[in-house]
Structure 1
Amino acid sequence: MADARNFELNANEVSNTKRRFSKEANIQYTYESEEELLKNIKDLAAMLGHHVEHQRPRLDELDDYYAGNNSAISVLNRRKEDDKADHRSRHNFAKYVSNFMQGYLVGVPISMNHTEQNVEKKMSDVNQMIEADALNADLILDLSIYGRAYELLHRSQEDETKVYLSSPLETFLIYDNSIEKNIIAGVRYITVGYGNDKKIKVMLYTKTKIHTYYTANMGDFNLAYDHSEDHPFGDVPINEHTNNRFRQGDFENVLDQIDLYDAGQSDTANYMTDLNDAMLKIVGDVELEPEEAKKMKEANIIFLKPSANNAEGRESKVDADYIYKQYDVSGVESYKDRLQTDIHKFTFTPDLNDENFSGQQTGEAMKYKMFGLEQIRINKERLFKRSLNRRYKLINNVMSLAKEAKSGELSGFTYTFTPNLPKSTKEAVEMFNNLGGELSQQTKLKTIPMIVESPEEEQKLLESERSKQRQRSSFMEN
């Protein structure tokens, strides 16, 4: 029998290193085989408990940062004095990074091509049925946030193959112990019920069946078998996509910098508020009644009258100013600018508000600024293509059962990713003209889609107007 804890790494070791997440927050689960796992459901329960206790905290925190609920600034007891301002300013760099990555990779939908036209037509119909463009965009966003993304293939009540996004917070795969890391099962768990009846429903997906289990209650990971049903996909119908080899999200390595920026901006806001509430200091012997001082404060003016002359017969000296904490404005602003620069540098995303990232630069200059991001994009594409192949292999399995496609027919596709960046049409046109190139009228119209929506219709209108003009000219001559 396989070891129930063989997926845990050094669970009992205590590290002196301060870590944001558990060392086991991103491990992959392995087991001997599907058959052994079904014989030892306690081991499945142990994996479920491990995912909830070790992996969910990381995923939940990344989810919070994407939603703008930055945790560090929210929980810190930042001010010692109760009467001081305590602003908590959260900055959603996480959403900026992930949305930029999503738009850059799949803002222009992925195109698929095949050498055989009939296969390409079948794939086009499949993509339309599963809404592939929207699904791919959601998967890329999950990859950017969590470092991993999951899709679940399902046969609908209308007997159609559908592919749904499955949250990484409630999904994981189990691999075998071989070097090939073959998938032996997939797990999706959700909370069902309310109040005291709340419990966890666990669905274990194997190559041919879906096994359903329930926990006795919410805090118990012991599983009780409920029922099983067949599925037609011929393999585990959960597909995992990975963002990189380490399954790390795009903003995960700059969480500390985001926290520091939040703290810096919050301190600035606190300083400005505390300055408005600064303590008035009066130096000298002054005749000033409390009620009179209150009226002066309300009128935003102060009149100081010395109480008596000094020994030389002159009025004693009085002065008034405010007591407040001195603040190095230029130093603090430079510090926050440096933090913001580091966030963009370490996530390989450009700061579009940067003066050095203006729209006046040439396309080649822009490419050099995006060079780091391009390397990230290339790696993401390679991994995404691999998991896309598995998606269409599973769909092909169902289609071959229904005689809608041959076995292995939906393979050998070429995927084309087009980075979604603004293009300088002017540069391309000038280069083309300098080379002596010529274009048809319809091609010229296609270069200005913001003015001409349909070049074909516009060409017909032009020809119609020219025909009427010729008829009019001919009539005038006669």
Structure 2
Amino acid sequence: MAIKINREMAGDLNNPSSELLNHCINQHQSDFWRLEKLSDYYDGKQDILKRTKDSAAAPNNKVVVNHAKYVTDMNVGFMVGNPVAYTSSDDIQSILDAYTKVDIVSHDTELEKDLSVFGIGYELIYMNQEPQTGKVFADIKCIDPRGIFLVTDDTIDTNPLFAVHYQPVYNLQGAVDYYLVKYYNDNRVLTYRAASIGFGDYQLIKALPHYFKAVPVIEYRNNEERQGDFEQAISLIDAYNLLQSDRLNDKEAFVDAILVILGFDLRDGDGERLAKERLLINTNAPGESSVSYLTKTMDENSVAILRDSLLEDIHKVTYVPNMNDKNFSGNVSGEAMKYKLFGLLQLMSVKSRYMIKGLRQRLILFANYLEIGNNNVDIDGIKIKLKPNLPINTTDIVNQIVQAHQAGILPLKVLLSWLPDIDNVDEVLEQLQEEKEEAIEMNQKAMGVQSGDSHSNLDDPPDNEDDNQDNNNNQSDNQTNQKGDQENGQNKNNKKQN
């Protein structure tokens, strides 16, 4: 987790002292074994495997039911099974292209896994080079939280000061030869070599600038307490493993139970005959005789109740439902599934807030890098959306959109936002408008072909020459009519005078 120190006590951040590095590394090492245990539980290396018994002859089964992996894998798929969506009214294609180049979808999956297991995740943004072309680009990698940490000041803003990534370098015999320590501040990367971690001196190997204008290490939190998704259920996981292991131990002890024989005389060869023929003959005088096994009574019903209770508590504490439960049948609708996953949706609402905060810091670093090539991107208006990976009944949603649109109670832009796979509604509306215009144009062309050449140019402007000729003819006719009217009037006047 982030380590807080006083800015004045840190000294020169461009030339950190060995005392500063040792202090911060020791602080980080104090949480190492907790992170190691969480990693082991996800990998299936759980405490039941360390169980021992005083008697070597006693059954000692070690059953691991890996609920830790189940909880993490469910959360990862639920959170980032659908890629994170970035939308903006401005042009952000350059950042999206940079994300595509580094396969940001796979990176987010790995990051969310670290968050779910450790409760904390780190990513490093650095300058990389293409081996074929030699072109430099901004790359990104997840770093194991057991080998990296971020240092901030002790103000309420917790401004990042620097980050340290350390890792052992092994020789051919498998022993640690030395440690490689990389120090990142807001303008450079310093690489040190050290014989040990937490004490001693650090030998500077090289110093290189970077161009991200901030510490290129981002810390993500799973929640306020920085706890993993299954961390609070570890005792329940241990109890479940112990119960299942003891059930097998009891079964094995039942099979290997001691045989008690009363009232029989066993002679040489009777043991082999019993094992082969499964038969004993009482050769003694008539009297009481019996054969039985020495076992303890097993109450499977009580064990099953305890098992189901532990299983229910595990899913209750982690908010991850039991998908094998009968309530999750195949004919459950998407809306009904949301109510069954209500707890997981609430957990995601908390996790997504902390993750989006880190994703915005990632946008800033990539924008700072792109600015070097005069590729300025306005990231203030970018909206980040995490969509839960849920089964969705798209048919119902489309029917609701059609009904609401026909009723005219909501704008089409709002209705289209109901569809889960649409990130940019404006782009969809533009595509709809283009399709309508193309359909109208095709209809007009089809009508023109059917009606003949005389109507094939309905959309063309009228021919000016034909219009002028028609106007001239109309004017000539009007003048002729006026002349005829005048002559008729003159004749009438002459008749009256005569």
Flag whether TM exceeds 0.5 (same fold): yes
Instruction: Quote the residue 1:74 is aligned against.
Output: 49
Q: Write the distance in 1 (CA, Å) between the matches of 2:199 and 2:257.
A: 55
- Change over 3 Å in CA distance of 1:208–1:295 after alignment to 2: farther
Q: 1:140 aligned to 2:112?
A: yes
| Distance apart, 1:102 and its partner CA | 0.8
Q: Write the distance in 1 (CA, Å) between the matches of 2:177 and 2:288.
A: 75
Instruction: Quote the residue 2:274 is aligned against.
Output: 296
Instruction: Give the AA of the match of 1:411.
Output: D
TM-score (norm 1): 0.78
Q: 1:188 aligned to 2:159?
A: no
Q: 1:201 aligns with which of 164, 180, 197?
A: 180
Instruction: Quote the residue 1:156 is aligned against.
Output: 128
Q: Write the distance in 1 (CA, Å) between the matches of 2:317 and 2:5.
A: 32
Cα offsets for 1:261-302 (capped at 9, x unmatched): 110110011111111111111122x122353213422x3x53
Q: Write the distance in 2 (CA, Å) between the matches of 1:290 and 1:149.
A: 71
Q: Write the distance in 1 (CA, Å) between the matches of 2:395 and 2:250.
A: 49
> Which secondary structure state, in structure 2, belongs to the residue aligned with residue 198 of structure 1?
strand
Q: Write the distance in 2 (CA, Å) between the matches of 1:210 and 1:114.
A: 33
Q: Write the distance in 2 (CA, Å) between the matches of 1:354 and 1:397.
A: 49
Larger helix percent = 2
Q: Write the distance in 1 (CA, Å) between the matches of 2:36 and 2:334.
A: 39
Q: Write the distance in 1 (CA, Å) between the matches of 2:187 and 2:319.
A: 42
Cα offsets for 1:433-454 (capped at 9, x unmatched): 887969xxxx9xx99xxxxxxx
Instruction: Give the AA of the match of 1:241.
Output: Y
* Percent of aligned positions that are identical: 28
Q: Write the distance in 1 (CA, Å) between the matches of 2:250 and 2:169.
A: 47
Number of residue-to-residue matches in the alignment: 404
Instruction: Quote the residue 2:28 is aligned against.
Output: 51
> Which secondary structure state, in structure 2, belongs to the residue aligned with residue 357 of structure 1?
coil
- Change over 3 Å in CA distance of 1:399–1:35 after alignment to 2: farther
- How do 1:65-464 and structure 2 match up within 5 A? 65-70=41-46, 72-77=47-52, 79-116=53-90, 119-157=91-129, 158-194=135-171, 195=173, 198-217=177-196, 222-284=201-263, 286-289=264-267, 291-297=269-275, 299=276, 301-309=277-285, 315-405=286-376, 409-425=378-394, 427-428=396-397
Cα offsets for 1:325-363 (capped at 9, x unmatched): 322211111111111111111110110011123233343
Q: Write the distance in 2 (CA, Å) between the matches of 1:302 and 1:319.
A: 14
Deviates most, 164-173 or 410-419: 410-419
- Change over 3 Å in CA distance of 1:277–1:222 after alignment to 2: farther
> Which secondary structure state, in structure 2, belongs to the residue aligned with residue 61 of structure 1?
helix
* 1:192–1:200 Cα contact (<8 Å) kept: yes
> Which secondary structure state, in structure 1, belongs to the residue aligned with residue 83 of structure 2?
strand
Instruction: Quote the residue 1:64 is aligned against.
Output: 40
> Which secondary structure state, in structure 2, belongs to the residue aligned with residue 156 of structure 1?
strand
Instruction: Give the AA of the match of 2:335.
Output: E
| Distance apart, 1:213 and its partner CA | 2.0
* 1:235–1:394 Cα contact (<8 Å) kept: yes
| Distance apart, 1:411 and its partner CA | 3.4
Higher relative contact order (Cα pairs below 8 Å, separated by 6+ residues): 2
> Which secondary structure state, in structure 2, belongs to the residue aligned with residue 184 of structure 1?
strand
Instruction: Give the AA of the match of 2:98.
Output: V
* 2:259–2:294 Cα contact (<8 Å) kept: yes
Q: Write the distance in 1 (CA, Å) between the matches of 2:6 and 2:165.
A: 17
Cα offsets for 1:80-129 (capped at 9, x unmatched): 3221211111111111111111111111111110111xx23222212212
| Distance apart, 1:305 and its partner CA | 2.6
Unpaired runs of 5+ in structure 2? 130-134, 408-415, 421-498
Instruction: Give the AA of the match of 1:262.
Output: N
Unpaired runs of 5+ in structure 1? 1-25, 310-314, 448-478
> Which secondary structure state, in structure 2, belongs to the residue aligned with residue 200 of structure 1?
strand
- Change over 3 Å in CA distance of 1:437–1:85 after alignment to 2: farther
| Distance apart, 1:60 and its partner CA | 1.1
* 2:25–2:198 Cα contact (<8 Å) kept: no
Q: Write the distance in 1 (CA, Å) between the matches of 2:16 and 2:403.
A: 73
Q: 1:42 aligns with which of 11, 16, 19?
A: 19
Q: Write the distance in 1 (CA, Å) between the matches of 2:319 and 2:282.
A: 64
TM-score (norm 2): 0.75
* 1:150–1:165 Cα contact (<8 Å) kept: yes
**Cα RMSD (Å) of the superposition?**
2.7
